[in-house]
């Protein structure tokens, strides 16, 4: 490994660190577990027919995402810097590799701007549920979602509330903010999920849900499904934009990196599967279809809750769970940008959190208006038709999601994998991997996955994105 001191010492004593390995695992799992697990994974499992899709997703996590996670945390821990500084520490001045770090910071900013809008919906739904949303008819529930989507002021309000919560926590610091919040919120989240799961396991529809999620049925798997599973493994594990790298930069100890990454990826996957086993039984026993797409959680599920005894209570619990999961993810998205501003421009944390948070709030305005504004909705759809084909244009919100999930994260993940596997000097990389690890003998397997399997997998995602595969 090149000498990190080229970028100057990492100002030891100034950088905050996690107080324990558990604190890191909780924060990193908090980043990973979010809307991607409880909203997106169930609906893409639904649209892809379950079974095989889930299996392929598990393979993608093990063979592609997990090696990248180890690489990200390792790079952050070794450099004690946020993404741009970490790349600078191990490359020549002005090296194009720094671009991967910049891409990460930009991705954090972009993702947070629309993620916070959807996160706001979860708060709105939790509030509606508490007010007795359970009593509404199916048609009214469909209308509620359509109305929310088309109401810029309501979207903006909840987006602002969510950003304010995120800014408040990040401004308080690694210890008193991120660590304290995740230490409280993660057990709450797991507790709520378990309560919902136990309820689901005792009810009807559970057997069908198990079969849908784990049963392998012939003729189900499509190439598009395989690539969607692979792409999702990046998003759900917060990879490719330096979130894990930044959290890794607050690690001091020579912890077992592999064991830590396996714990984070394992918990994240467990939450995704549990979310399916909570949602599908409710959907099936209400006689609804699993493959409806993004409306699964915001339309179908509330309809099903409405038919259930005590449905309002369970609905409120579910949407609070979703809000908590989203909050521990938005914290990490903002932290990437804040850490960057602190490291690169020596900004104070509070000022960085407020500045970056307000800028994100602004960038989120067009997303909040995508459902209800002619310009950012239909206007953007028309504008992007030449790119995506007639009738396939994307509004502002969908466009950002598409750019971030299909391009920025896979590109960033590929960059990090190639950088760590080819660029960073072998001896120090080996030492960093093996330090304190029970999995030292997996070193060469890890390097081989980074060098060959990750580029092949990500390459396939790109070829698919441009319509070649
Ligand atoms: N992993 C989060 C989710 O699944 O909802 C989303 C996310 C958070 C992506 C943080 C990227 C990131 F840096």
Cα Rg for the chain, rounded, in angstroms?
A: 21
Select from 178, 176, 129 the least CA-distant residue to 27. Answer: 178
The token pair at 103 is 């891409």
The closest-lying atom of ligand 1 relative to the alpha carbon of residue 243 is 13
Q: How far is the CA of 136 from the centre of ligand 1 (A)?
A: 32
User: How many beta carbons lie within 10 A of that of residue 223, not counting itself?
Assistant: 10
pLDDT digits (tens, 9 = 90+) for 19-34: 999 999 999 999 999 9
Looking at residue 8, its pLDDT comes to 39
Ligand 1, atom 9, residue with closest C-alpha = 238
The token pair at 367 is 């997303």
Ligand 1, atom 11, residue with closest C-alpha = 238
Instruction: Please classify residue 308 by burial: count the beta carbons closer than 10 Å to its beta carbon, then call 0-12 exposed, 13-18 middle and 19+ buried.
Output: middle
Ligand 1 pocket: which of 267, 333, 405 to mutate (most atoms within 8 A of CB)? 333
Looking at residue 21, its pLDDT comes to 92
Q: How far is the CA of 97 from the centre of ligand 1 (A)?
A: 23
Averaged pLDDT of the chain: 91
Do the beta carbons of residue 255 and residue 434 sit within 8 Å? no
Ligand 1 pocket: which of 236, 241, 242, 410 to mutate (most atoms within 8 A of CB)? 236
For the cut 70, the answer to whether the pLDDT of residue 351 exceeds it is yes
For the cut 70, the answer to whether the pLDDT of residue 146 exceeds it is yes
Looking at residue 135, its pLDDT comes to 66
pLDDT digits (tens, 9 = 90+) for 379-422: 888 888 888 888 888 889 889 988 888 889 999 999 999 999 99
Q: How far is the CA of 208 from the centre of ligand 1 (A)?
A: 29
Do the beta carbons of residue 181 and residue 331 sit within 8 Å? yes
Mean pLDDT within 112-117 = 96
Looking at residue 13, its pLDDT comes to 44
The closest-lying atom of ligand 1 relative to the alpha carbon of residue 329 is 8
Ligand 1 pocket: which of 238, 248, 326 to mutate (most atoms within 8 A of CB)? 238
Q: How far is the CA of 301 from the centre of ligand 1 (A)?
A: 23
Q: How far apart are CA 299 and CA 121, in angstroms?
A: 12
Looking at residue 4, its pLDDT comes to 44
Q: How far is the CA of 5 from the centre of ligand 1 (A)?
A: 31
Q: How far is the CA of 373 from the centre of ligand 1 (A)?
A: 27
- 21-465 under CATH 3.40.720, yes or no: no
pLDDT band for position 134 (50/70/90)? low
Q: How far apart are CA 8 and CA 333, in angstroms?
A: 26
Ligand 1 pocket: which of 117, 170, 231, 243 to mutate (most atoms within 8 A of CB)? 243
Select from 270, 243, 253, 254 the least CA-distant residue to 101. Answer: 243
pLDDT digits (tens, 9 = 90+) for 181-235: 999 999 999 999 999 999 899 888 999 999 999 999 877 778 888 888 988 999 9
pLDDT digits (tens, 9 = 90+) for 82-104: 999 999 999 988 899 999 999 99
Query: What count of Cα atoms within 13 Å lies in the side-chain half-sphere of residue 63?
Result: 16
Q: How far apart are CA 384 and CA 419, in angstroms?
A: 33
Task: Tell me the pTM.
Answer: 0.93
As a three-state string, the secondary structure of the chain is CCCHHHHCCCCCCCCCCCCCHHHHHHHHHHHHCCHHHHHHHHHHHHHCCCCHHHHHHHHHHHHHHHHHHHHHHHHHHHHCCCHHHHHHHCCCCCCCCHHHHHHHHHHHHHHHHHHHHHHHHHHHHHHHHHCCHHHCCHHHHHHHHHHHHCCHHHHHHHHHHHHHHHHHHHHCCHHHHHHHHHHHHHHHHHHHHHHHHHHHHHCCCHHHHHHHHHCCCCCCCCHHHHHHHHHHHHHHCCCCCCHHHHHHCCCCCCCCHHHHHHHHHHHHHHHHHHHHHHHHHHHHHCCCCCCCCCHHHHHHHHHHHHCCCCHHHHHHHHHHHHHHHHHHHHHHHHHHHHHHHHHHHCCCHHHHHHHHHHHHHHHCHHHHCCCCCCHHHHHHHHHCHHHHCCCCCCCHHHHHHHHHHHHHHHHHHHHHHHHHHHHCCHHHHHHHHHCCCCCHHHHHHHHHHHHHHHHHHHHHHHHHHCCCC
Looking at residue 9, its pLDDT comes to 38
The closest-lying atom of ligand 1 relative to the alpha carbon of residue 325 is 5
Within 6 A (CB) of ligand 1 lie: 31-32, 34-37, 111, 235-236, 238, 241, 243, 329, 332-333
Ligand 1 pocket: which of 40, 76, 110, 115 to mutate (most atoms within 8 A of CB)? 115
Q: How far is the CA of 328 from the centre of ligand 1 (A)?
A: 9
Do the beta carbons of residue 250 and residue 24 sit within 8 Å? yes
CB contact set of 216 (below 8 Å; sequence gap of 6+): 51, 52, 55
Q: How far is the CA of 32 from the centre of ligand 1 (A)?
A: 5
Q: How far is the CA of 188 from the centre of ligand 1 (A)?
A: 19
> CA 31 from chain center: how many Å?
7
Q: How far is the CA of 204 from the centre of ligand 1 (A)?
A: 32
Do the beta carbons of residue 185 and residue 328 sit within 8 Å? yes
pLDDT band for position 6 (50/70/90)? very low
CB contact set of 131 (below 8 Å; sequence gap of 6+): none
Lookup result for tokens 């709105």: 124
Q: How far is the CA of 140 from the centre of ligand 1 (A)?
A: 32
For the cut 50, the answer to whether the pLDDT of residue 468 exceeds it is yes
């Amino acid at each position: 490994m090149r000498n990190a001191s080229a970028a100057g010492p990492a100002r030891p004593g100034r950088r905050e660190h996690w107080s324990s390995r558990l604190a890191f695992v909780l924060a990193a799992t908090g980043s990973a577990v979010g809307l991607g697990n409880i909203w997106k994974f169930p609906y893409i499992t639904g649209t892809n027919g379950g079974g095989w899709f889930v299996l392929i997703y598990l393979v993608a996590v093990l063979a592609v995402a997990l090696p990248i996670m180890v690489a990200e945390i390792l790079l952050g821990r070794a450099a004690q810097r946020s993404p741009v500084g970490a790349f600078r520490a191990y490359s020549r001045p002005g090296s194009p590799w720094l671009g991967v770090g910049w891409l990460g910071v930009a991705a954090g900013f972009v993702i947070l701007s629309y993620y916070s809008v959807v996160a706001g919906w979860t708060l709105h739904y939790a509030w509606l549920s508490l007010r007795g949303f359970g009593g509404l008819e199916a048609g009214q529930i469909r209308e509620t979602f359509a109305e929310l989507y088309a109401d810029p002021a309501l979207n903006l309000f909840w987006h602002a509330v969510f950003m304010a919560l995120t800014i408040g926590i990040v401004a308080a610091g690694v210890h008193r903010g991120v660590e304290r919040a995740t230490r409280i919120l993660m057990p709450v989240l797991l507790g709520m999920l378990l309560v919902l799961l136990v309820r689901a396991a005792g009810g009807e529809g559970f057997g069908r849900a198990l079969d849908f999620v784990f049963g392998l049925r012939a003729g189900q798997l499509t190439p598009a499904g395989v690539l969607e599973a692979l792409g999702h493994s990046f998003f759900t594990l917060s990879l490719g934009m330096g979130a894990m790298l930044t959290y890794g930069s607050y690690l001091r100890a020579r912890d077992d990196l592999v064991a830590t990454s396996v714990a984070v990826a394992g918990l994240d996957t467990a939450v995704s599967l549990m979310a399916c086993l909570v949602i599908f039984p409710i959907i099936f026993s209400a006689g609804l279809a699993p493959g409806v797409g993004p409306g699964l959680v915001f339309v179908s599920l509330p309809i099903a809750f409405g038919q259930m005894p005590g449905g309002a209570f369970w609905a409120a619990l579910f949407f609070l769970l979703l809000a908590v999961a989203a909050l521990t993810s938005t914290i990490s998205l903002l932290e990437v940008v804040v850490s960057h501003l602190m490291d690169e421009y020596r900004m104070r944390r509070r000022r960085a959190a407020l500045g970056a948070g307000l800028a994100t709030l602004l960038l989120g305005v067009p997303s909040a208006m995508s459902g209800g504004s002619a310009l950012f909705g239909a206007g953007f759809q028309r504008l992007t038709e030449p790119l995506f084909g007639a009738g396939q244009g994307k509004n502002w919100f969908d466009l950002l999601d598409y750019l971030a999930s299909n391009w920025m994260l896979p590109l960033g993940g590929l960059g990090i994998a190639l950088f760590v596997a080819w660029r960073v000097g072998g001896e120090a990389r080996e030492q960093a991997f093996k330090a304190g690890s029970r999995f030292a003998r997996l070193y060469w397997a890890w390097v081989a996955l980074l060098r060959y399997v990750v580029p092949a997998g990500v390459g396939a995602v790109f070829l698919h994105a441009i319509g070649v595969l």
